[in-house]
Each structure stands twice: as structure tokens, then as C-alpha cells.
Amino acid sequence: MPSASGIRAGAAFIELSVNDSRLIKGLQAASRKLQSFGAGLRNIGTRMMAVGAGIVTPLLASAKSFATMGDQLDKMSARTGMSVESLSELGYAAQLSGAGLEDVETGVRNMQRTIAGAAAGSESAAEALAAVGLSAEQLMALSPDQQFMVIGKRLNEIRDPAQRAAAAMEVFGRSGTTLLPMMEGLAEARAEAKRLGVVMSTEDARAAATFNDALDRMWASLRSLVVTVGAALSPLLTEIADKIVSLVGSFRDWLAENKGCI
């Protein structure tokens, strides 16, 4: 004879089998809650990724801009003999007048060529310096930065615009007329650059150059990886491409022979 506990278990089983609507509704409700919870987690994850990208992207852009500018100033300093600080100030002044740092470098190098030529006995170079009231002997005793400032000051003292432009071109080459507008108020513009904190130091420029070189090496290594992977996969890809060409050709021939079937 069945026990009391057995009878109760059997009754419960029969009741569950016959009327399971409450259980099903409960499971469906739990499933909806789990789905809602999962969707909430995905939304949070998406938002966090968006916030992260919004923070990281400007930082990376700023780092790259710093690396590019610092590397440019560091190498330009080596080419011209001017300090990074001086080039930063002159670059700021040039920007205010509609010129660029490249114009400054071109002008400085032409200026140095003119001074060196005059010192070596070139009459045309000596005449170019004489047009601004200077000589090679006077300028050779100065740093490139001081040479640039002195010549700029003398150009500002020439009243006739045509003579001033001609004298600027004789000393600075074709970039002379481009640099003329920055000569007016040059000392004030350089002081403003210092006050605004836009002058890069030699140490920062060297750090930026090192960082930029590291980025160049990284991209070079990635490009070499692409070449290596491409070389490894090329035989397989060539075989696949040949098979596709053969298959297309066979299919085209079949179509030509069985136009009536289409």
C-alpha cells in the first residue's frame, strides 16, 4: 500500500503536469528579466567604450601633434644652429603674420649663406649686407638668432617699401618678402609667445623627436609584418584565385552551350 508521502508526491506531479501555466509564466518572466539585464549590460558597455574612445582619441591626437612639432623643431635646430626656443618664438611670430616655420628656416639658411659668402669675399653678398647697414665681420660675432633679429631691425628702418623688399630678398632669398610682415613687432611677438607658454624647450623637443622616431619604427615593423604575412599567404591565395578563374570560365562555357535551359 502506497505511503502518505508517495501519495502526496504523485498528486503534486499530476497537478504540475495538468496545470503548469503558473510555472511557464514564471519562467517566461524570469527569461524577460534576464534579457533585460543583458541588454542593460550591453548598453553600459557601449557607453563606457564611447566614453573611453572620447578620452583616448584626443590624447592620442595631442601626443602625435606634440611628437610631430617637437621632432620638426629638433631637426630644424640642428640644421640652422638656432635653439629650439628661438625657433618656437619665431614660428609663433611667423604664424601671426601669415607665414610659417618653414619660411623662417628657409630665410635663416639663406641669411647664413649670405653672411658666409660675404665673409669669404663675395661682393654681391657683401653688398646685400651693406644694404641693411651691416658687414660680415659684425654679424659673424653674433649667434644665428641675434643675426636674424639685427637684420630684421635694420630692414624695419628702411622707409621705402620697394627698397625694403629688395633688401630682404637679397639677404633672405625668395622668402624675404614673406618674412617682412613678421619683422614689424617681432620682439613683442616673441615675448607674447613666452607669456602664452607656447615656446617648446630643447628637452621637450628632444623627447618628442625620440617619441616620433619610436612611432616610425613601430609603423615600419607593422608594415614588415604585413609584407611577411602577405608573402606567406600569397601561394595559397594565388591557388584560390586560379581555381576561381577556372570555375568562372567553366561556368561561362556551360552558359554558352545551354542558353536554352535558362
Tens of pLDDT, residue by residue over 181-195, are: 999 999 999 999 999
Q: What is the structure's pLDDT at 7? A: 47
pLDDT at 209: 77
Contacts 24+ apart (CB under 8 A), 180-186: 180/155, 181/97, 181/98, 181/99, 182/90, 182/93, 182/94, 182/96, 182/97, 182/99, 183/152, 183/153, 183/155, 183/156, 184/156, 186/93, 186/149, 186/152
CA 7 from chain center: how many Å? 80
Q: End-to-end CA distance of the chain, in Å?
A: 77
| pLDDT value at residue 13 | 46
Where do the domains of the chain lie?
30-80, 81-202, 213-246
| pLDDT tens per residue across span 30-78 | 556 656 656 665 666 666 665 555 655 555 666 677 778 888 899 999 9
- Average pLDDT along the chain: 82
- The residue count of the chain comes to 262
Series of mean pLDDT values for 10-residue runs along the chain (262 residues) = 51 50 59 61 62 56 73 91 95 94 95 96 95 95 95 95 95 94 94 94 84 82 83 86 87 77 64
pLDDT at 16: 47
What pLDDT is stored for residue 68 in this prediction? 81
Q: How many CB atoms lie within 10 A of CB 201?
A: 14
pTM of the model: 0.61
Three-class SS of 98-132: CCCHHHHHHHHHHHHHHHHHHHCCCHHHHHHHHCC
Q: What is the dihedral of CA 59, 64, 66, 68, to 10 degrees?
A: -170
172 with 179: CB under 8 angstroms? yes
Residue 232's pLDDT is what?
86
Q: In angstroms, what CA-CA distances link 55 with 42, 67, 117, 211?
A: 20, 19, 53, 21
Q: How far is CA 207 from the centre of its chain?
A: 16
Looking at residue 49, its pLDDT comes to 62
Residue 85, number of CB atoms within 10 A of its CB: 20
